[in-house]
Amino acid sequence: MAVRFFGQFLLENGVINAQQLLAATSFQEKMNLKFGDTAIQLGLLDKDRLAKIFALQRSEDIKTGEAGIKLGFLKEAQVDQVLRAQKNSHVMIGAALVKTGALTDAQLSEQLQAFKKDQDAYQLSTGLPQQKDATGLAAPAIDLTVKFLMRLANLQVKLLDVRYSLAKVGGGTTYTARVAFTGDREGEIALRASDRVCAQIASGMLGEPVAPDAKSVILDATSEFLNIVGGNLSAVGARQGKKVELSTPRSGDVPTDGRNIVVAHLGTPDGDIEFIFVVD
């Protein structure tokens, strides 16, 4: 029911246990060389230069390849060469589970098919211009929000449009739930809607009716809804090599000054929902 990585799918389904998964991930750590070691193996760096790259990374938050280019040790084409070599020799978790004896080849094949079926519901469909979604995470965040609103809150939802600024709140009572994230980029996701629509989300999450004036219940449930979107976005990000770490949820207006904003307007029969993706 969630975006998972293959190892967790197997663990949750009781196909493997925690020790088998840890043994396989240790095997991966041993076999999958890091960027610097791969570059040395390819003869593009030596240990002294790699040490200088690491020293630079202690003062600047940049990747090893970027540091290598900045110091003049590597060219962009060489960084691509290292990344390709890493990708080509990468041992996936499934292969690692076979190598460490947790699965047979036949079991792996069967489980991969089951995993693909499980994750088909999370195939992404929203597209945004790259200059408006520099992190590449706003589009999947919108997709996940729509899918979870339908699945967890039982709402009929349609993506109406996407804008790049946040209008002021209109009349009536609205609630805003927010979850901040850090990692490769900092920002937050937020969900803003009328009390009536938020009460519907809360009702769906709790499986029982929630009145529009039950503020604390509604904020807790919509925050948890957003937390689930954020957690699954972390899993999508991890598949793309992007780190997304979540903070605990909060509520209140979303500050907009100097921030890059993507606002998805989602239509429901009882009113619109604004899903807001902000990068600092």
Q: Which residues are at the interface with another protein (CB under 8 A)?
A: 1-5, 7-8, 11-14, 18, 21-22, 25, 93, 148, 151-152, 202, 205-207, 217, 220-221, 223-224, 227-228, 230-232, 234-235, 238, 246-249
Closest to another protein by CB, 44 or 141? 141
- Sign of the Cα torsion 139, 141, 143, 149 reads negative
Q: Which amino acid is at 140?
A: P
Closest to another protein by CB, 10 or 278? 10
Q: How many CB atoms lie within 10 A of CB 182?
A: 14
Compute φ and ψ for 158, nearest 5 degrees: -135, 135
Quote the CA–CA distance of 11 and 16 in Å, as a whole number: 5
Smallest gap from Cβ 247 to another protein, in A, equals: 7
Smallest gap from Cβ 220 to another protein, in A, equals: 5
Helices 195-206, 215-239: inter-axial angle, 10-degree rounding: 70
User: Could you write out the DSSP letters of every residue in 214-255?
Assistant: -HHHHHHHHHHHHHHHHHHHHHHHHHTT--EEEPPPEESPPP
Smallest gap from Cβ 175 to another protein, in A, equals: 14
Smallest gap from Cβ 85 to another protein, in A, equals: 21
Please, which residues have CB within 8 angstroms of residue 255's CB and are 6 or more apart in sequence?
Answer: none
Closest to another protein by CB, 41 or 247? 247
Closest to another protein by CB, 162 or 202? 202
Smallest gap from Cβ 205 to another protein, in A, equals: 5
Q: How many CB atoms lie within 10 A of CB 96?
A: 23
Give the side-chain half-sphere CA count within 13 A for 155.
29
Closest to another protein by CB, 52 or 122? 122
Smallest gap from Cβ 124 to another protein, in A, equals: 15
Closest to another protein by CB, 75 or 243? 243
Q: Which amino acid is at 94?
A: G
Compute φ and ψ for 267, nearest 5 degrees: -90, 135
Closest to another protein by CB, 53 or 226? 226
Smallest gap from Cβ 2 to another protein, in A, equals: 4
